[in-house]
Structure 1
């Protein structure tokens, strides 16, 4: 095998290998969230930490919704770059909440007379802010 063939085969191998490399966060749809699949289908949003279970009604304040649609958190966050919003951390399972949680795919129900009482300020990426 001559030198030209060796370099040709090496170049071909590298180009084939480069075509098989998968980017760390492929963009198949709506930002990096596409790399982890669709966002959880939860009636009142989902927690901003894995495994992204559905959050109960009252956990997120109204600023977390645009036109009635949850803006997302974690890898599916699609709000403004410097967004901050209130949550009611009494509904946080990491803080001891053991009440009912909606299941994925459930439809929202009316909660007349409920008044949101946010007590913690967060961004859409799982960080507590001030």
Structure 2
């Protein structure tokens, strides 16, 4: 009798333990903060260093403003803009990166199209006639820019 009462109590405790929901709700918070303040835009991959003048073509600037890259990208859906990846550290560039307010120090020659999230693709138009983007001028996706 004692054993049946003991095992009955044990079974009841086990039943309560295994039927109780012990899960805690996930608490995930992501805060990317403000976009980097860079004179000619910033690379589309961490640590989002400032890109040198000449990396981005005109299609990266709408009404003279950089449309962003990485988590701060604000371009149109399906966008691919021209870049000159000779100025990209992922493609071997080891030269200086600009500081805020620095003047241009190179030129633009489109040789790749990117989507703002780090993926290469096809821009759907020829980038040979583009110039480096910047913070002057107006325009729309694919036709804005100038430099500041």
Q: Do the aligned partners of residues 67 and 110 (structure 1) sit closer, same or farther apart at CA in structure 2, a change above 3 Å counting?
A: farther
Alpha-carbon distance in 2 for matches of 1:68, 1:124: 17
Structure (1 or 2) with the larger CA radius of gyration: 2
Flag the structure with higher helix content.
1
Q: Give the gaps of 5 or more residues in structure 1.
A: 1-16, 26-34
Structure 1 residue corresponding to 2:64, chosen from 65, 68, 71: 68
Question: For residue 116 of structure 1, what is the aligned residue in structure 2?
Answer: 108
Taking structure 2 as the reference length, the TM-score comes to 0.60
Alpha-carbon distance in 1 for matches of 2:113, 2:89: 17
Alpha-carbon distance in 2 for matches of 1:110, 1:117: 14
- Give RMSD over aligned pairs: 2.5
Deviation at 1:40, TM superposition (A): 0.3
Q: Give the gaps of 5 or more residues in structure 2.
A: 1-23, 123-148
What is the aligned length? Answer: 103
- Indicate the structure whose relative CO is greater, using CA pairs within 8 Å and at least 6 residues apart: 2
Poorly superposed stretches of 4+, deviation over 4 Å: 21-25
